[in-house]
Amino acid sequence: MPSNASGRSDKNDAPPLPEPLRVPVADSHTHLDMQAGTVAEGLAKAASVGVTTVVQVGCDLAGSRWATETAAAHDAVHATVALHPNEAPRIVHGDPGREPGGDAALDEALAEIDRLAALPQVKGVGETGLDHFRTGPEGKEAQERSFRAHIEIAKRHGKTLVIHDRDAHADVLRVLKEEGAPERTVFHCYSGDAEMAGICASAGYYMSFAGNVTFKNAQNLRDALAVAPRELILVETDAPFLTPAPYRGRPNAPYLIPVTVRAMAAVRGVDEDTLATALAVNTARAFGY
């Protein structure tokens, strides 16, 4: 129904419900705490189109605690906990309205992530990694130290590592190699090309594709998706961000996963059910649930 007087639907409106998937899948990476409506509403809407499981990702201490509480309260939700790669430098160096805490504050925050990572509803440690797009040179050291600490926490607790890699492919791969990657490692919002997909495949890293795989200018992502081994592919929303075409720019939520799954099936040249079956199995294996 038109939502404004001019009769046009508003470009800020939530996109319509897609056709349900016949084979249920998981949204491997979402931020329910940044989306409109209640968690119960968001989960019900997602389940109504076959998105029956979500991985709720923490980005700071408050968000990580929230993820653990939400996963404890809802069977359909699994949690991951971390300090986002852009959060670690803010803890050390401060931010507008926030005092710099130095290395000690980062250590304290990491100790809390470590405690949360032990909880049974926490399936992963992340999102962590490197972001050379948002964090400048002054934050690089804190960011890499935090990344290394998260890798160690994931390994010690036997949890999945969830990687955020923005404009930092070579450095992320280098740190993983130096530290030794955990048994299960996921590149969330996979942003590498086909060549990097080959490197991830040989290391056994999962590649989770988000709505930007549908964007016109993202042929490199589709090329990567086309060559990635079927058993290492996941799908995610990273909602409220990265809403798939043709709804780009409007609010994203887990119920829009079918739009991305269909675009991915077209890239892979397989039918939707075949891909959805693989995605469901892969996500469960990747997060050990």
Residue 27 lies near Zn ion (rule: CB under 5 A): no
**Residues facing residue 25 across a β-bridge:** 51
d(CA 79, CA 140): 27
Please identify, among the stretches 2-10, 157-165, 219-227, 275-283, the one whose residues bind Zn ion according to the rule CB under 5 A.
Answer: 157-165
Shortest CB 280 distance to Zn ion, Å: 21
One symbol per residue from 72 to 111: x for binding Zn ion (CB under 5 A), - otherwise; what is it?
Answer: ----------------------------------------
Q: Do 235 and 208 meet the contact criterion of CB atoms below 8 Å apart?
A: yes
Shortest CB 7 distance to Zn ion, Å: 36
Between the alpha carbon of residue 77 and those of residues 8, 233, 279, 289, the distances in Å are 35, 20, 17, 11
The sign of the torsion formed by the CA atoms of 271, 276, 277, 283 equals positive
d(CA 95, CA 136): 13
Structure tokens at 90: 């803010």
Residues touching Zn ion, count (CB under 5 A) = 3
Task: Say whether 127 sits in a helix, a strand or coil.
Answer: strand
Residue 150 lies near Zn ion (rule: CB under 5 A): no
Structure tokens at 93: 């160096």
E strands in 121-258: 122-131, 160-166, 185-187, 206-209, 233-235
Give the residue at shortest CB distance from Zn ion: 164
Shortest CB 137 distance to Zn ion, Å: 20
Choose between 127 and 144: whose C-beta lies nearer to Zn ion: 127
One symbol per residue from 226 to 245: x for binding Zn ion (CB under 5 A), - otherwise; what is it?
Answer: ------------x-------
Q: How far apart are the first and last CA of the chain?
A: 40
Structure tokens at 16: 């319509």
Choose between 148 and 266: whose C-beta lies nearer to Zn ion: 148
Shortest CB 124 distance to Zn ion, Å: 12
Choose between 228 and 239: whose C-beta lies nearer to Zn ion: 239
| Burial letters 55-73, b for 16+ CB under 10 A, else e | bbbbbbbebbebbbebbee
Residue 132 lies near Zn ion (rule: CB under 5 A): no
Q: Which of 164, 169, 184, 222: binder of Zn ion (CB under 5 A)?
A: 164
Shortest CB 258 distance to Zn ion, Å: 20
Please identify, among the stretches 39-47, 48-56, 105-113, 123-131, the one whose residues bind Zn ion according to the rule CB under 5 A.
Answer: 123-131
Binding region for Zn ion (CB under 5 A): 127, 164, 238
